[in-house]
């Protein structure tokens, strides 16, 4: 059983790590979209929520940012829910591509995009979401995302959506190629608008940590008790995060950090430690893979400090016993 005060100890360590990484790697800033180029590179927040609803925050955790590719995780969940695992797998695979997020490559053998965490696969997942038209699809996506976050105010940022629709040739190109190959059946403008609307939903690092915690908690939001995704799909979602969530840096991430995660080009990362907690990181400034520079460094440090690497031997000196427990199994004193 955890000693009283341990949640405070976690907060202290989190603050200390956050402070240490505040100025890390800021010279490497890369941006892909006008709104991101405008984003304040000094913003830096990390929040963690465990499956009992306890939450920790450090830095800028109430600043809204667009989910971008982090949305792929949750839209994939809805595609699985709407179509079932087998029919979804026929349309989009679960194999890491080893290519960048916007790569124009496909699994030729199975005649589908490699996985739903890169743009090609996410566009197919958007096509798979049920709904009569874009509005209905986006409404259903929003409703689910709100449920993951326990935040009824989540919304599509229309300005960001318009900006994305204007600088979107590559996603359109991907869709046209996929339609010519029979991988997409719907109207291309609708598919792209559905996908980019999901990318333009804004959250905070605190929201994102709850969304991650919902997956860690088997699909039920630990704050509200509401189910966001059927339990049977959670394993598939989190597995594909582990193998494909960090694009062509997924292998390095699995080795260094060892937590299922997904990044987006706004500089956000969601991490899911099944049965324990989720965390959300926001820090603009990307590396060549499109992953947040400070976010990746911070997660590596959190993993080491708190012993979170899912494949690490607990006796391994680098990933030793957590100095303080972050898991509900150990920490029984939190009040949430
Ligand atoms: N909205 C972006 C796109 O579709 C998302 C890309 C990303 O976050 N990697 O290109």
Is residue 64 helix, strand or coil? Answer: coil
pLDDT in tens, 36-54: 666 788 899 999 999 999 9
pTM for this entry: 0.91
Q: How far is the CA of 328 from the centre of ligand 1 (A)?
A: 34
Q: What are phi and psi of 46, to 5 degrees?
A: -140, 130
Q: Which long-range contacts (CB under 8 A, 24 or more apart) does 251-256 make?
A: 251/96, 253/291, 253/296, 254/311, 256/300, 256/303
Q: What is the CATH number of domain 6-67+203-316?
A: 3.40.710.10
Pocket of ligand 1 (CB under 6 A): 68-69, 101-102, 119, 164, 171, 199, 264-265, 290
132: CB partners within 8 A, 6+ apart: none
Thinking of the domain 70-199, which architecture would CATH place it in? Answer: 3-Layer(aba) Sandwich (3.40)
pLDDT in tens, 274-316: 999 999 999 998 888 889 999 999 999 999 888 899 998 776 6
Q: Which ligand 1 atom sits nearest the alpha carbon of residue 247?
A: 9
Choose which residue among 30, 35, 65, 102 to substitute to test ligand 1 binding: the one with the highest number of ligand atoms within 8 A of its C-beta.
102
Residue 185 confidence class, pLDDT cut points 50, 70, 90 = confident
CATH 3.40.710.10 location in the chain = 6-67+203-316, 70-199
- Pick the residue whose CA is nearest to atom 6 on ligand 1: 69
pLDDT in tens, 212-246: 999 999 999 999 999 999 999 999 999 999 999 99
Other residues' Cβ atoms within 10 Å of the Cβ of residue 158: 10
């Amino acid at each position: 059983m955890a000693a009283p005060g341990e949640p405070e100890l976690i907060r202290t360590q989190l603050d200390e790590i956050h402070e240490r990484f505040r100025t890390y790697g800021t010279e490497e800033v890369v941006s892909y979209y006008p709104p991101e180029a405008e984003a304040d590179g000094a913003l830096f927040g990390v929040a963690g929520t465990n499956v009992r609803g306890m939450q920790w925050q450090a830095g800028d955790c109430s600043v809204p940012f667009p989910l971008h590719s982090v949305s792929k995780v949750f839209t994939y969940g809805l595609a699985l829910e709407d179509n079932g695992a087998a029919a979804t797998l026929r349309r989009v695979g679960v194999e890491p591509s080893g290519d960048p997020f916007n790569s124009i490559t496909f699994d030729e053998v199975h005649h589908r995009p490699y996985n739903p965490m890169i743009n090609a696969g996410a566009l197919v997942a958007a096509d798979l979401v049920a709904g009569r038209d874009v509005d209905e699809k986006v409404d259903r996506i929003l409703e689910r995302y709100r449920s993951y976050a326990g935040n009824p105010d989540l919304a599509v940022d229309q300005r960001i959506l318009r900006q994305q629709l204007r600088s979107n040739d590559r996603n359109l190109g991907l869709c046209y190629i996929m339609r010519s190959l029979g991988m997409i059946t719907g109207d291309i403008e609708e598919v792209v608008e559905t996908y980019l609307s999901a990318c333009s939903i804004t959250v905070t690092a605190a929201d994102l940590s709850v969304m991650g915690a919902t997956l860690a908690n088997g699909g039920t939001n630990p704050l509200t008790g509401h189910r966001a995704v059927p339990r049977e799909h959670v394993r598939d979602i989190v597995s594909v995060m582990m193998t494909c969530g960090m694009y062509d840096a997924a292998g390095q991430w699995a080795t260094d950090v060892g937590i299922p995660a997904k990044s987006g080009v706004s500089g956000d990362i969601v991490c899911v430690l099944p049965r324990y907690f989720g965390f959300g990181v926001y820090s603009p400034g990307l590396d060549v893979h499109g992953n947040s520079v400070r976010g990746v460094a911070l997660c590596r440090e959190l993993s080491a400090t708190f012993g979170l690497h899912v494949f690490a031997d607990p006796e391994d000196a680098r990933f030793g016993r957590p100095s303080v427990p972050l898991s509900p199994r150990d920490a029984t004193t939190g009040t949430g």
